[in-house]
Amino acid sequence: MYDLETIVKNGLCIGCGLCRSLAGSERVKMVMTSQGRERPLVTEPPEQEILEKINAVCPGIKITGPDSEDGIEMDMVWGPAAKLVIGYAADPEIRFTSATGGVLSALGIYLLESGKVDNVLHVAPNPVKPMRSGAHISRNRDDIMAGSGSHYGPSAPLTGVMELLEKGSPFAVIAKPCDIGAIRNLSKIDPRVDQLISCCLTMVCGGASEFTKSLDLIEKHGLEEEDVSYLRYRGYGNPGPTTIRTHDGRVFEHSYNEMWADEGNWRLQNRCKICPDSIGELADIAVSDVWPGGGPSGEDDGFNGILARTSSGLDLLEQAVDSGVLVITEEIDFRDMDNFQPHQVRLKQAVHDRLLGISDCELPVPKFRNLRLEELAETAEFEVRIKNRDGMAERIRNGKVIEPIPTNSKQR
């Protein structure tokens, strides 16, 4: 069993905030470290029983893939899907304002307005520090739209999960795949999860950047965080411009390719580099970009790849289409997804060997099960496999994995 400091120190934490929800804010706080990562700060060690629960649910140390379900196809790379389509939000405002085609925002609004849930848990910009994101509970369309678009950077969406479960009313979760993995872990020790969380929605995730990515961006314009009134990486088009606004009315914009063409400058957290499920296998519905070759060639009207992964996810998709909430343009298959998301295929092939590199350095190795990682590694070229294994070991030796433990004096 690991304490929180060990999980953080060894680069396994993604900052989901579930440990804080289980332990309570009097014992664990989520803080932004000087390295630009949201991490748990232990102010009072959790009791043994709580620490055992944290070890059971932490997605940094444990992810178990989905069980097979009758009638749902299982792909070696992409996992389960009852249906794969391209679509978008029927409401033009949602489609234009949101990241990509607005499917997640449209589904969140539909769940609330149809009475299927009372709340939707997701992330939205911090109203006081708008460059940062945090947990947000939505009860209507305006609440959902306040969190639409892409803001990237670290966030802790699960800090309030236990509080919502205690309220006893149905809710949905829209979050990163690793956060959904944490929810699925929690369901194994708390029956209220399956009773009250009606669905889990996610995006096919390119990784969570450190906050230093945003700070470096504004520094190029001579700005400090206190100067910024608004920061949005995507939306208002697809992909839309990265937009910075200041309190004194200045506006700065960058294209998507300016921000993300160089994968080496994504500033991803270490846990993202060994993510076993960045494609959202454990969600009910996962959505993605659908750019051939993996990147945009320009602006378009906004389209999502939609993977209904469970029977309940398929029911939700069909209901949303029948209700006029979503528009479907065409059916696709798993190999289309390979073309739209080639970097996801490469990551899925790489994780097993990167874990071996961690083991070679005698650091704690997370338990990722039922996700076909070893089989996928065998489909990669031998030289690539060696590069992934040795590359992770080199990162560890160069100090790029081990993190300092958060303290009250090392917060942003």
Determine, yes or no, domain membership for 192. Answer: yes
Distance, in Å, from the CA atom of 94 to the CA atom of 355, rounded to the nearest integer, reads 40
Determine, yes or no, domain membership for 108. Answer: yes
Q: How many domains does the chain have?
A: 1
Question: What stretches of 14-140 show up as alpha helix (H) in DSSP?
Answer: 18-23, 48-57, 92-97, 103-113
Residue 255: other Cβ atoms inside 10 A = 15
Work out the angle at residue 108's Cα, subtended by the Cα atoms of residues 103 and 109, and round it to the nearest 5 degrees.
Answer: 100
Determine, yes or no, domain membership for 199. Answer: yes
Q: Specify the DSSP element, H or E, that contains 124.
A: strand 119-125
Domain range for residue 173? 83-210+264-340
Determine, yes or no, domain membership for 61. Answer: no
Determine, yes or no, domain membership for 33. Answer: no
What pLDDT tens digit does each residue of the chain (412 aa) get? 999 999 999 999 999 999 999 999 999 999 999 999 999 999 999 999 999 999 999 999 999 999 989 989 999 999 999 999 999 999 999 999 999 999 999 999 999 999 999 999 999 999 999 999 999 999 999 999 999 988 888 999 999 999 999 999 999 999 999 999 999 999 999 999 999 999 999 999 999 999 999 999 999 999 999 999 999 999 999 999 999 999 999 999 999 999 988 877 889 999 999 999 999 999 999 999 999 999 999 999 999 999 999 999 999 999 999 999 999 999 999 999 999 999 999 999 999 999 999 999 999 999 999 999 999 999 999 999 999 999 999 999 999 999 999 987 556 6
pTM: 0.97
Determine, yes or no, domain membership for 289. Answer: yes
